[in-house]
Amino acid sequence: MSFPLFITLFVFILIFILRMPIALGMLASAACYLLVKGADLSLVVNQVMNTYYTNYVIIAVPLFIFTANVMNSGKVTDMIFKFSGGLTGRMRGALGQVNVLASLIFSGMTGSAIADAAGLGKIEIQAMKDDGYDPEFSCAITAASATIGPIFPPSIPLVIYAMLSSTSVGALFMGGMVPAILLALFLMIYVAVVAKKRNYPRGEKIVWKVFLLFTLKALPALLTPIILLVGIYTGVMTPTEAGAIAGLYAMLVSVFAYRAMGWKDLFEVVKTTIKDVGATSIMIGAATIISYIVAREQLAANIGNWILGFTSSKWTFMLLVNIV
């Protein structure tokens, strides 16, 4: 390991221990490497700005973040929660199943784990605690189900990955759909097992008239992922255009369908979005520099050779790569 790389890792670990924001940690560690190497910081910053921040695809990130914040500001999360409750019925541990189902649906609108946990999380945890679920289990399943967001399209991390690796966003979205559904399925199986073991309460009996009413109320919100996925996969719109349409549609639904957002609420949503986009942009810039460092130091190749020293099996190799 070279001295500049050692300094980079040391600074990053130190900042992580000090609990500073991860975006600043990545930026500081990348800057330390460049300073130790004697690189021209202004040249690097200019290259990052021209290469990535002018990329058309990256515009999709703030648009999807804005969509997520609009959804959380309106009554969309409430509608999704009630609709998911109608799907689980008399199942044992129904609210736990609702937690997972609602996260899967909401992920198709926002593609963000933070938006899921911040929006649905408050409703889900409180409802589960009121129904007799252990607080630890309620928080754990909420956190676990929120991880569906970065996998299921329109995933914000997948958009960033596509930009950094010059990969098709549509192909990544298609590749993330099945793993996200499988993750939700296994989480629901886990909830069912724990619910039976701990004797968690069953859900209420489905009253079809009430369920139909919830479905009709939730329909404007439920159309969001359908519009996005169909539009992207049919080639009618790019991911960036899909993000713009999703943001506009979310505003129309919140203002006119649910009457849950005024000008003051919209101003707060814009402020929150600017803060979120600022942190994300710093992380993207830092990640760009770190990817350069990894390539320059041949870190990926060295780790790969180190892992190959333990095994020649491709499956074991893939497992160890994911662990590392």
Which of the four pLDDT bands, split at 50, 70 and 90, describes residue 182?
A: very high
Do residues 64 and 156 lie in contact, with contact meaning Cβ atoms separated by under 8 Å?
yes
Helix (H, G, I), strand (E, B) or coil at 54: coil
Rounded CA-CA distance 153/228 in Å is: 9
Say whether pLDDT at 100 is over 80. yes
96 within some domain: yes
pLDDT of residue 49: 66
Residue 299 within any structural domain of the chain? no
Cα separations (Å) of 33 from 17, 52, 285, 289, 292? 19, 20, 14, 10, 11
Q: Is residue 62 part of a domain?
A: yes
DSSP annotation of 149 reads: T
* pLDDT for res 147: 87
At 90, is the secondary structure helix, strand, or coil? Answer: coil
54 — pLDDT class (breaks 50, 70, 90) = low
Asked if residue 274 belongs to a domain, the reply is: no
- The confidence score (pLDDT) of residue 52 equals 65
pLDDT at 60 over 70: yes
Q: Is the residue at 312 inside a domain?
A: no
**Token code pair at residue 122:** 């408050």
CB-CB contact of 154 with 246 (8 Å)? yes
Q: Residue 232: give the domain boundaries.
A: 57-261
- pLDDT of residue 97 exceeding 70, the answer is yes
**What is the number of domains present in the chain?**
1
Distance in angstroms between the alpha carbons of the first and the last residue of the chain: 17
100, two tokens: 């997972």
pLDDT digits (tens, 9 = 90+) for 258-297: 777 778 888 888 888 888 888 777 777 777 777 777 777 7
How much is the mean pLDDT over the chain? 79
Helices (H), 89-155: 94-110, 113-130, 135-146
Beta-bridge partner residues of 92: 202
DSSP β-bridge partners for residue 202: 92
Run of H or E including 170: helix 169-198
| CA dihedral of 142, 143, 146, 151, whole degrees rounded to 10 | -140
d(CA 248, CA 60): 13
Cα(148)–Cα(179) distance, integer angstroms:
9
> Does residue 34 belong to any structural domain of this protein?
no
Query: Residue 253 domain-assigned?
Result: yes
Residue 164, pLDDT > 80, answer: no
- Is residue 224 a part of any domain in this protein? yes
Written as one letter, the residue type at 40 is D
